[in-house]
Amino acid sequence: MELEFYGATGRVTGSCHILRVGGATVLLDCGLIQGSREDEALNAEPFPFDPSAVDAVVLTHGHIDHSGRLPLLVKKGFAGPVYTQQATVDLCRVLLLDSASLGERDAIFRQKHPQSAGDRHAEPLYTREDAVRALNSFVGLPYHQKQEILPGIIIRFMDAGHILGSALVEVWLHEGDVSRKLVFSGDVGQYNTPIMNDPETIEEADAVIVESTYGDRLHREIALTLAEMGEIIRKAAAGGGNILIPAFAIGRSQELLYFFSEHYEEWELDRWQIFLDSPMAIEASRIYWDYPALVDEDAASFRNGRSWMPHLKNLHFTAKPEQSKAINAIKQGAIIIAGSGMCNGGRILHHLKHNIERPECSVIITGFQAAGTLGRRLVEGEQEVEIHGRSYPVRAALHTIGGLSAHGDRNDILRWLGGFTNRPEIYVVHGDEPVKTVFLDAIEAELHLKASIPQQGEIVRFA
């Protein structure tokens, strides 16, 4: 039995690892690489394995950097099942079809407006048909249920506390007389945050693959974050402009609406019109409230009676393109939550084009921004950015809000790793290179566990 490290080794995105046991091949995640155009071009590179020889996929959660290459896997010959938590099945119906639609539209745009000879023959990474075929292979499992997925391979999902349906994966491996237990963290959530439950404790493993996205830092206390958010909104109201919030459709958008409802009077939100301008976020919000058993007690009780979302009387759902375009006629008093969360596509780009040059407007960055994305360039203070081929001076006020990450910070991940009562081998992945090094040192110094940073293509054999 062996484990090969593939995706999310040299970077944060593109999670994918290869498990081989007794002649069977299983993928742990199959995510898109996100970032610069050069990074994203890597998605079209051949898989380092034969997709038709993969027997099953185990998916930790719906975020596209963990699930987004599943339709491509199917397109290239994969015909097995995809095991994941039940809520993730529903979320992926939204995410993967949206990802396919974006790819199809981008290919058409490049064909019509070529910037290179290759653009004239541009094709999407995969189509909606590929996404549907992938979705038809999904098998939803509840938390805490052991399931044999192949001879010698048993899995169980535990709550990772990251987004709805996110899972820590326990994998029991049996080959001949050898038995081993592997744990894959996926993405670990924060402790003591609204909506999601805390990450569940797992006590035993022989090896653990752990993410390290924020392994070199601590998040701000949530109370300080919310106080800052309220102050930004109050100052923006006095300035007379709009507020743009790039937000991930799953997790962050629902969290923002929750906070807006909870602090409605304190933040004087009745002075604003609030727009959730993302078809994907709107549908994901419905799914969130379809699973009250998977959110924490406070969030479940905060639902507006039998409604599917906390009540905000001035909240508008703008799913249709014409509704989204109409927002741009509003020059002040609009709070616009739109995707994508890293400003590398989607409706937020159109709103930035109409507002980024206006000093009375504000942009609030609330999540991780991968290197090479427009969101990262804004966070790093670039004074001029390019959107849809045109340069725009950045005059709007830029605010980066810490503390709202769906990822746990250094102490959260160390706390979760500290739940193991034996001494598993730790493999640190899913982080920028300097971050992984800092986090590895923390694991060894504070938990006294043996840890390493695997490179792409590195193979570990369990004897």
Please say which residue of 376, 400, 424 terminates a domain: 400
The pLDDT value given to residue 301: 67
pLDDT at 457 exceeding the cut of 50: yes
The pLDDT value given to residue 120: 84
> Residue 143 belongs to a domain with what CATH number?
3.60.15.10
Span 176-198, mean pLDDT? 94
In this structure, the answer to whether residues 424 and 370 fall within a common structural domain is no
In this structure, the answer to whether residues 168 and 255 fall within a common structural domain is no
The pLDDT value given to residue 91: 96
The pLDDT value given to residue 188: 98
Confidence of residue 306 (pLDDT cuts 50, 70, 90): very low
Whole-number average pLDDT of the chain: 93
Span 371-393, mean pLDDT? 93
Number of structural domains found in the chain: 2
pTM confidence score: 0.89
In this structure, the answer to whether residues 424 and 360 fall within a common structural domain is no
In this structure, the answer to whether residues 42 and 124 fall within a common structural domain is yes
| Residue of higher predicted confidence among 121 and 68 | 68
Confidence of residue 302 (pLDDT cuts 50, 70, 90): low
Span 208-223, mean pLDDT? 94
Confidence of residue 382 (pLDDT cuts 50, 70, 90): very high
Please say which residue of 378, 400, 422 terminates a domain: 400
pLDDT tens-digit readout, 258-285: 899 889 999 999 999 999 999 999 999 8
In this structure, the answer to whether residues 188 and 261 fall within a common structural domain is no
Please say which residue of 355, 370, 400 terminates a domain: 400
pLDDT at 426 exceeding the cut of 50: yes
The pLDDT value given to residue 303: 58
pLDDT at 119 exceeding the cut of 90: no
Confidence of residue 310 (pLDDT cuts 50, 70, 90): low
The pLDDT value given to residue 309: 55
The pLDDT value given to residue 369: 87
Rounded-to-integer distance, Cα 143 and Cα 170, Å: 11
In this structure, the answer to whether residues 198 and 271 fall within a common structural domain is no
pLDDT tens-digit readout, 88-104: 999 999 999 989 998 89
pLDDT at 350 exceeding the cut of 50: yes
| Structural domain boundaries enclosing 277 | 222-400
Lowest mean pLDDT among 38-47, 141-150, 237-246, 393-402: 38-47
In this structure, the answer to whether residues 149 and 56 fall within a common structural domain is yes
pLDDT tens-digit readout, 429-440: 999 999 999 999
pLDDT tens-digit readout, 21-46: 999 999 999 999 987 778 888 898 99
